Structure 1
Amino acid sequence: MTIRSHRPLRVALIGWGAISRRVAALLSNSPSAGDIAIVAIGVRSTARAQDIPTGAVLITDPAQLAGLKPDLVVEAAGREAVAIWGEAALRSAPAFAIASASALTDASLLERLLQTAEACGSQLILPPGALAGIDAIAAASVLPLDEVVHSIVKPPAAWRGTLAEDMIALDGLSAPAVFFTGSAREAAVRFPQNANVAVISALAGIGLDRTRVELVADPGVAANCHRLSVSGAFGRLDIAIENRPLAGNPKSSEMAALSLVRTIRNRIAPLSR
């Protein structure tokens, strides 16, 4: 039997909500569990942070990251957390992965993060989240792209508590209804939880202002659905994915947590995929 000689990957999770808890549970039950150590949970307040992983410490100040020497910092705490923790994470760790992509609609924040990453020799990672085909869109963007359309289709319940309630009668729908059409930047700003992933497809392709987003409430679906249509010099791509909602947070998808697990595992896997 081969014994691994290197130390476990030291991971700091920012946020202890539904996504972070799911990520931690999946990692602890995986064959690579012994190769990954969650060393810290970053939160605003320790009062509500219960049942954190064994060996992890609760931190509330981004400056505390430096003393922990993490190999990877992973954010899943909402867009405000990216601005609060981002620069410290990039100074303290080789990589900072973010789930709350909508934070990057703030051009000045994105520029600061990229400048910090360049100055420190670290990397800002944007996992594909609930989407499929992001690698293909990024590859296709090497040549000119003509159009990227991202349709986000969710059951009415997933749009409750958002601006959609002021735009459409969610309880009275009997057929799919498009209630928003606009740029990826506008969609992510106005619907940061539900349209967060529009930033991912936009940054992979033709940018936040040229990517067109359609938001749909559909009483006939039970899953969170994403449909991407891309055309350009490479040819044409059409892809759809239906994601099971994340337990405890119907505005997000199970795939959002799975994508972060993949990102973490790929930091140590002999085969990155």
Structure 2
Amino acid sequence: MSGSDLRVVLVGWGAIGQRVAALLAERRPPRVVLAGVAVRDAGVVRPGWPAGAARVAGPDGLAALAPGLVVECAGRAAVMDWGRAALAAGADFAPASTSAFTDGALLADLAARATAAGRQVLIAPGALGGIDALAAAARLGLAEVRHEIVKPPAAWAGTAAEKLCDLAALTAPLTFFDGTAAEAARDFPQNANVAMITALAGIGPARTRIALVADPGAAGNAHRLRATGDFGTMTIALENRPLATNPKSSELTALALVRLIENRAAAVVL
């Protein structure tokens, strides 16, 4: 491989990490090398492990792989340590677990480290489209942003939604949470990472409104975003297919990370 190749390290080998690795293996983007994957137990044999990828047991082993980009998809607890390690190793850092940034001090810390290292913290749009338009509109000023997340009851199983309603008994859509993006991302980290993406692109976690809906008639994971401001009004609606191995995550989340990776190595970026 040439010195111009982008060496990528994935943090996490769950549903999203495995899907990202599989898509990269299938697409074979030029100048992208999956150099390693960080896992808790590097000695465990894992089916489908990407050929040539080293096993990394902890942040201390990251620098030896000389990464250019570290992509986190292991959960919010991994963001701080792996983000700091990535930036210290001279790599850009792309966190998928954006709910970690309900702690504003963490984002500020990583931003300061990125500035000092001459690197970037890159935030993919996750399961949501139109983030580029929302971020552009925010530069002129936004008055209101509301984001509704609709998923089948099964996708909310194992979350705080179970304490707020009887998911199994629902016969019609139920909005079981309506609050700020900060509250949504804090209380529903596995299902509402995208809430923080919307907030960071627009008017911030305290002003962005999030509604979480369990709908027994939903076939997939839906997002409905409405924003108003000096630019005008935008309404964005998506119906995402969930990952086959994890109904709490959307296929588009993995695809957004793949796009981010490919763009870092591409000659033309869209």
Is TM (by shorter chain) over 0.5? Answer: yes
Q: Does the Cα contact within 8 Å between 1:73 and 1:93 map onto a contact in 2?
A: no
The amino acid of 1:185's aligned partner reads A
Pairwise CA distance, 1:47:
5.0
Q: Who is 1:183 aligned against?
A: 180
Confirm or deny: 8 A CA contact 2:90 2:117 kept in the other structure: no
Looking at structure 2, the residues matched to 18 and 179 of structure 1 have their Cα atoms a distance apart, in angstroms, of 26
**Secondary structure of residue in 2 paired with 1:97:** strand
**Correspondence 1:77 to 2:74:** yes
Contact 1:117–1:124 (8 Å) recurs in 2 = yes
Instruction: Say whether residues 1:251 and 2:248 are aligned partners.
Output: yes
CA distance in 2, matches of 1:84, 1:212: 29
Query: 1:241 maps to which residue?
Result: 238
Structure 1 residue 46: deviation in Å? 2.4
Q: Look up the SS of the partner of 2:129 in the other structure.
A: coil
Partner residue in 2 for 1:220:
217
Q: What amino acid maps onto 2:57 in structure 1?
A: T
Cα offset, 1:35, TM superposition: 2.5
Alignment-derived partner of residue 155 in structure 1: 152
**Aligned mates of 1:237, 1:66 — CA distance in 2:** 43
Alignment length, in residue pairs?
269
1:43 corresponds to 2:39? yes
Gap change, CA 1:72 and 1:182, over 3 Å in 2: same
Q: Offset at 1:200?
A: 0.2
Residue 20 of structure 1: aligned partner:
17
How far has the Cα of 1:26 moved from its partner? 0.7
Alpha-carbon distance between aligned partners in 1 of 2:66 and 2:28, rounded to the nearest angstrom: 24
2:265 partner SS: coil
The 1:193–1:49 alpha-carbon spacing in structure 2 relative to 1, beyond 3 Å, is: farther
Deviations 1:16-52 (A, max 9, x none): 11111111111111142x5221111112222556142
- Quote the residue 2:125 is aligned against: 128
Contact (CA 8 Å) 2:20, 2:255: kept in 1 or not?
Answer: yes
Rounded to whole Å, the distance in 2 between the matches of 1:10 and 1:106 is 29
Give the equivalent residue in structure 2 for 1:98. 95
Alpha-carbon deviation of 1:108? 1.5
Q: 1:114 aligns with which of 105, 111, 116?
A: 111
| 8 Å contact kept, 1:94–1:121 | no
Deviations for 1:203-257, whole angstroms, at most 9, x for unmatched residues? 0000011000000000111110000000000000000111100111100000000
Alpha-carbon deviation of 1:65?
1.4
Partner of 2:200: 203
Structure 1 counterpart SS, 2:179: strand
Partner SS for 2:133: helix
Aligned equivalents of 2:45, 2:9: Cα separation in 1: 14
Q: CA deviation at 1:6?
A: 5.3
Separation of aligned partners in 2, 1:11 and 1:93? 12
8 Å contact from structure 1 (residues 43, 49) kept in 2: no
Aligned partner of 1:59 in structure 2 is 56
Gaps of 5+ in 2: none
Equivalence for 1:30: 27
Task: Quote the offset at 1:194 in angstroms.
Answer: 0.6
State the TM-score, normalized to the length of structure 2: 0.96
Provide TM-score, normalisation by structure 1: 0.95
- 1:164 counterpart residue number: 161
> Distance between the aligned counterparts of 2:189 and 2:252, measured in 1?
17
Distance 1:65 1:5, change over 3 A: closer
